[in-house]
Amino acid sequence: MALIKYSRPNTDLFSRRFNDIVDEMFNNNINYRKDSFMPNVDISETETQFEISAELPGLNKDEIKIDLENGRLTLSGERKFVNEDEGKNFHRVETSYGTFSRSFYLPDSINEDSIKARYEDGLLNITIDKQEEKIKRQIEIK
């Protein structure tokens, strides 16, 4: 009599799609983070100002909070999952929900009174002017 190794259904790696295996591996590892997320942020600098853009789709501007304390700019808020259709069964939810908070230390060369924020089409844009006297300038040699 020959012994054959028993294999439970759906546990054979070759019988499942690669995407399902990767999704299961990563989703099980980050399952504890379902109540928060971290929005993507781009930070750039021009000669006269700093610009911060944060992706926050599905939020109203009233749900976003921007604080400046001791040179640290903090973006925070909460994106709530709303299931308005009680008969709907979700098979996959890839969008992020929960609370978020991102903090950035700003350089001393900023003008704190010049901070402006604009929220449009799910994108939060913040501009911060540099102080005039601290903007890089060319020194003429005589």
Query: Is 32 a residue whose pLDDT tops 50?
Result: no
User: 15-24 pLDDT, tens per residue?
Assistant: 556 656 555 5
The per-residue DSSP string of 34-65 comes to TTB----EEEEE-SSEEEEEEE-TT--GGGEE
For the whole model, what pTM was predicted? 0.67
Class of domain 35-81+95-134: mainly beta
* Residue 10 near residue 16, CB atoms below 8 Å: yes
Structural domain boundaries in the chain: 35-81+95-134
Residues β-bridged to residue 104: 73
Mean pLDDT confidence for 29-43: 71
User: 96-123 pLDDT, tens per residue?
Assistant: 888 999 999 998 889 999 999 999 999 9
- 113: helix, coil or strand? helix
Q: What's the confidence (pLDDT) of residue 13?
A: 52
Question: Which residue is listed with tokens 């300038």?
Answer: 137
Q: What's the confidence (pLDDT) of residue 58?
A: 87
